[in-house]
Structure 1
Amino acid sequence: MQDLVTVFGGSGFVGAQVVRALAKQGWRVRVAVRQPHLAYKMRLLGDVGQIEVVQANIRNEASIRRAVEGAHAVVNAVGVLYETGRQKFQSIHAMGARNVAAVAREAGVERLVQISALGADPESGAKYARTKAMGEDAVREAFPGAVIVRPSVVFGPDDNFFNRFGELAMISPVLPLIGGGDGKLQPVFVGDVAKAIVACVTDPACAGQTYELGGPRAYSFRELMELVLAETGRKRFLVPLPFPVAALMGKAFEFLALTPWAPPLTEDQVELLKSDNVVSGTQPGLAELGIEASAVEGIVPAYLYRFRKGGQYADEVERLTAVA
């Protein structure tokens, strides 16, 4: 086995795939999470003793220091899609990222990968994008050789995008086209993102670089909703929802952040959708890391089937219905 890599947020959607990919490459992995008792399954992603789970909170420097002790590299995969309790955009994306970078530098960590987001912009109207940009600046200042990775919307079996709208298609007669549905997104497969991060950890030539990660093509929001309906076998109306109306709905939904349920939409997410989320072409990406981007059409059907009538038996149900 190779040296130790600490992955903050390693039990999350992207983080778990990073841990799996690192383990496959023979790295020892330390998964640093706020609630380790909920992440015990992470050890199953590697060989016996290869993966350990420790408690850490990126808002607490002492816990970061314990988590990075003896680590060759650090990956910060911590992020939030909406604010709740003490988990605020500013404290996680900006201050937390700065804490991880500063402590890692102090501890003598050789490589740091900071997972940011495509569209990170200090001038953005969305707090999510502004604080992601602030985090990038703070990381660069504390750890100049850090690698910044900016993925577009990340998709995969446990994603919060296709699954959300697939579930909505089950219960609602309409799917909303926020802002008219013309905004562009370039979804990137979570497995490709994980491979990219492992490459950044492994290759010293990546130091100081910023990578923009997107899939092989861009889609309009309308096209993605049409794909969801096609793969779930649902006939639903696609209804344009003007940004002001969507923002009001998002603000109304934010009370769910106080409950165990995630809000389906927030005002800040509506603000994000006002700008296209596609790679600029001015920064290196998956191709420069030797990774061929996976297409949405080749992966999403494998997990959206659960939202069909009959779930995994949908094809058999359709066949029996036709016979009857």
Structure 2
Amino acid sequence: MIVSAHNMLRLQRTLVAGKRAYHDLVSLPGGKNLVGSGVPGYSAVSGHRVTVFGVTGFLGRYVVSKLGKSGTQVIVPYRDEDEARVFKPMGDLGQIVRMEWDIRNEDMIAECLRHSDTVYNFVGRDYETKNFDYHSVHVAGAERIAKLASQCGVSNFIHVSHLNASKESPSKFYQTKAEGEERVKAAFPGATIVRPSTLFGYEDKLLTNMAVWPIFWKLNHGQTSVRPVHVLDVAQSLVNLLSNPRPSSTINLPGPSTLTYEYLLDLVSSVTLQPPSRAPVLPKAAANILSKIGQNVWWPALSPDEVTRRYINDVDVEGDWDAVGVQPSEIEDSAIAHLRHYRTAENYLRPTILPARPSRALLEDI
């Protein structure tokens, strides 16, 4: 009997799907158990049903992509239909479920997470608007989602904050992030708090922004130290928490190295093969005035709170990468992939000579 390649593949999938092993069983907090099935990858069924709030942001898109490839059904709450279209090909038929929502509407939130066993909350704002300030999103919104998740019997709640979250911070962004963590823990005691540092990657707001607006990264003479981390490393860490949940814990995910904005500007210049910016160093008062004027545009290049954050060093804490099973990568390893399109045509394939890193003693003096 001759069997076509297509039918043979279907037969293999049927045989594999009919088998069960111990690793197909996943135990969730609260005593719930899930059983996966199917071949590994895109067409598998992991057994998980996950809701990802704040999915149209930078980090959320990568997490949904990784979840979809593992056969997880993902509920994607969205506000803008055009932004939600990108998720359609990230999973097999029926695995990506898009649902319209509003962070102020409890009924819509409950409908988005009613049937999920795990909820991720990535909702956040880099700048305030007349409709959504930092408190309404980072504090009240996070508390509302956590409360409804607890009421609906969600087993695993993962809340993404920031490495610099602190109620004593001069930045309102960091203050509300810290207050949001407290509200989430009160509403969902078993919540996992994840604190990544500044993210970089494709379409990021770090390297890409430095290539376009270098003047705004010279604040504090570029001596502010940060610990940038690759968005794919953080996304993989969050996906790993799905099968290895760590309830009631706080996980810090800083980048592997501490670098100054001055070094990162040199890195962008070296990778793009563009001359260093000759823009002057703006005084903080002038930057505040420009940022307030910029609030009147649709997409401000710099907000007043971002000016404050450009003077705040990332906290010096140990990373919990072993807990999530990921080894973070250095920013130099992938900078060319994210910045090559800023090169001119004649320089497109030229090799890159990376700048010398600042010494550890110099960073400690900053």
The answer to whether TM tops 0.5 is: yes
Structure 2 partner of 1:181: 222
CA shift, 1:231, in A, is: 1.2
Once the two structures are TM-superposed, the CA of residue 246 in structure 1 deviates from its matched residue by: 2.3
CA 248–103 in structure 1, closer or farther in 2 if over 3 Å, else same: same
Q: Map residues 77-226 of structure 1 onto 2, 5 A cutoff.
A: 77-168=122-213, 176-204=217-245, 206-226=246-266
- 1:315 paired with 2:348, answer yes
Q: Match for 1:273: what amino acid?
A: R
Return 5+ residue gaps in structure 1 as ranges: 319-324
What secondary structure does 2:76 align onto?
strand
How far apart are the structure 2 equivalents of 1:176 and 1:97?
Answer: 30
**Per-residue CA distance 1:268-302 (angstroms, 9 max, x = gap):** 01111222124422xx5223211000111111211
Q: Normalised by the size of structure 2, how large is the TM-score?
A: 0.79
Among candidates 338, 341, 362, match of residue 303 of structure 1? 338
CA offset digits 1:113-166 (Å, max 9, x no partner): 111111111121211111111110100000011011111111110111211121
Q: Secondary structure at the match of 1:237?
A: coil
Instruction: Describe the SS at the equivalent of 2:68.
Output: helix
Contact 1:112-1:145 within 8 A present in 2 as well: yes
When Rg is computed on C-alpha atoms for both structures, the one with the higher figure is 2
Distance 2:265 2:118 in 1: 39
Answer whether contact 1:250 1:267 (CA < 8 A) is retained. Answer: yes
Aligned to 2:55: 10
**What secondary structure does 1:82 align onto?**
coil
SS of residue matched to 1:75: strand
State which drifts further: 116-125 or 271-280.
271-280
Q: Does 1:61 align with 2:102?
A: no
Which letter maps to 1:106?
Answer: Q
TM-score, structure 1 as length reference:
0.89
Cα deviation, residue 12, structure 1:
1.7
Residues 1:316 and 1:297: Cα distance change in structure 2 (over 3 Å): closer
* Amino acid corresponding to residue 76 of structure 2 in structure 1: V
Distance 2:50 2:90 in 1: 14
Distance 2:152 2:217 in 1: 48
1:184, 1:39 → 2: CA distance? 35
SS for the counterpart of 2:295 is helix
Give the Å deviation of 1:37.
4.5
**Equivalent-residue separation in structure 1 for 2:139 and 2:273 (angstroms):** 41
Amino acid at match of 1:196: S
Question: Residue 120 of structure 2 aligns to a residue in which SS?
Answer: strand
1:269 corresponding residue in structure 2: 306
Higher RCO (Cα < 8 Å, 6 or more apart): 1
Secondary structure of the structure 1 residue equivalent to 2:218: strand
Which secondary structure state, in structure 2, belongs to the residue aligned with residue 39 of structure 1? helix
Distance in 2 (CA, whole Å) between partners of 1:117 and 1:166 is 24
Q: Which runs of 5+ in 2 are unaligned?
A: 1-44, 352-366
* CA 144–316 in structure 1, closer or farther in 2 if over 3 Å, else same: closer
Q: Distance in 2 between matches of 1:67 and 1:271?
A: 35
Q: Separation in 2 of the partners of 1:216 and 1:194?
A: 16
Letter in 2 for 1:214: P
Distance in structure 1 (CA, Å) of the matches to 2:95 and 2:316: 35
Q: 2:102·2:108 contact (CA, 8 Å) conserved in 1?
A: yes
Q: Please tell me the residue identity of whatever aligns with 2:348.
A: D
Match of 2:117 in 1: 72
User: Residue 329 of structure 2 aligns with which residue?
Assistant: 294
Q: Deviations over 1:203-233 (max 9, x none)?
A: 13x1111111122101011011111111111
CA RMSD of aligned residues (A): 1.9
* SS of corresponding position for 2:93: coil
Output the amino acid matched with 2:333.
G
Residue aligning to 1:321: none
Q: Does 1:251 align with 2:288?
A: no
CA displacement at 1:186 relative to structure 2: 0.6
Mapped partners of 2:281, 2:320: distance in 1: 33
2:289 corresponds to which letter in structure 1?
A: L
Identity %: 32
- What residue identity is the alignment partner of 2:250? T
Q: Does 1:36 align with 2:81?
A: yes
